[in-house]
Amino acid sequence: MNSTKIKQFKVEFDNFSYVIICIKTNKVAIVDPSYDASKILEYIISNNLKLQYIIITHYHGDHSNASNQVKNTIPSKIITSKYDGAKLDVDVDITVSDNDQLRLGEVNLKFILTPGHTLGGICIIVDNEAIITGDTLFIGDCGRTDLPGGNIEQMFRTLKEKIIPLPDHLIVYPGHDYGDKPFDTLGNQKRTNKTLLAKNLDEFSKIP
């Protein structure tokens, strides 16, 4: 990546939080701070990085429950979708809709609405280089649709209509470490991920 760096942090057992860094300006965003954000805050403070945004991919606690810890330590703006924002017990500063874009220094953040795991789940495309997928897409799998907010038909449509059309070179950074590697190219996932290979809803619904 030219102007962007994405740092992956494993928290609790298998959750991933991320720091998106604009190398040219030192401006950063945290994605999905949860459980204990101390290490991430330490990383930001010790590297003199300037936190701008806290982005929450979806409202489940294991992706959001350290948001207030972060915001209380470093004033910053919380971003999420309107639907999932309404379910959070944090004050959301910016709500994003499908295809909204935002600058993080010189880095472009594009938000896509990806319902299925939750109605207001979002993925973040970073500088047309990477996509942070929350619990929409994992390495080798997709997010569960049987938890609160989930819908299997929406998930199938999201994968078919929103994820598969994206370019192969994007690096997929998932919300959990469930795969055989912590991240992968979307191209590899299109060739190997059973949930992206399902041809129709019937086939998709039978995936164990």
Name which position in 135, 137, 173, 196 contacts Fe ion (CB under 5 A). 135
Name which position in 30, 31, 40, 60 contacts Fe ion (CB under 5 A). 60
DSSP 55-85: E-SSS-GGGTTTHHHHHHHS--EEEEEHHHH
Q: How far is the CB of 171 from Fe ion (least distance, A)?
A: 21
Which of residues 135 and 184 has its CB atom nearest to Fe ion in the complex? 135
Which of the stretches 29-37, 82-90, 133-141, 155-163 binds Fe ion when contact is defined by CB under 5 A?
A: 133-141
Alpha-carbon distance of 194 to 199, in angstroms, equals 10
Q: Quick check: helix, strand or coil at residue 103?
A: strand
Q: What are phi and psi of 174, to 5 degrees?
A: -85, 170
Alpha-carbon distance of 155 to 153, in angstroms, equals 5
Q: Is 181 exposed, middle or buried (0-12, 13-18, 19+ CB in 10 A)?
A: exposed
Task: Mark 85-124 with x for binding to Fe ion (rule: CB under 5 A) and - for no binding.
Answer: ----------------------------------------
Q: How far is the CB of 137 from Fe ion (least distance, A)?
A: 12
Which of the stretches 8-16, 54-62, 103-111, 157-165 binds Fe ion when contact is defined by CB under 5 A?
A: 54-62
Which of residues 60 and 162 has its CB atom nearest to Fe ion in the complex? 60
Contacts with Fe ion by CB under 5 A lie at: 60, 135
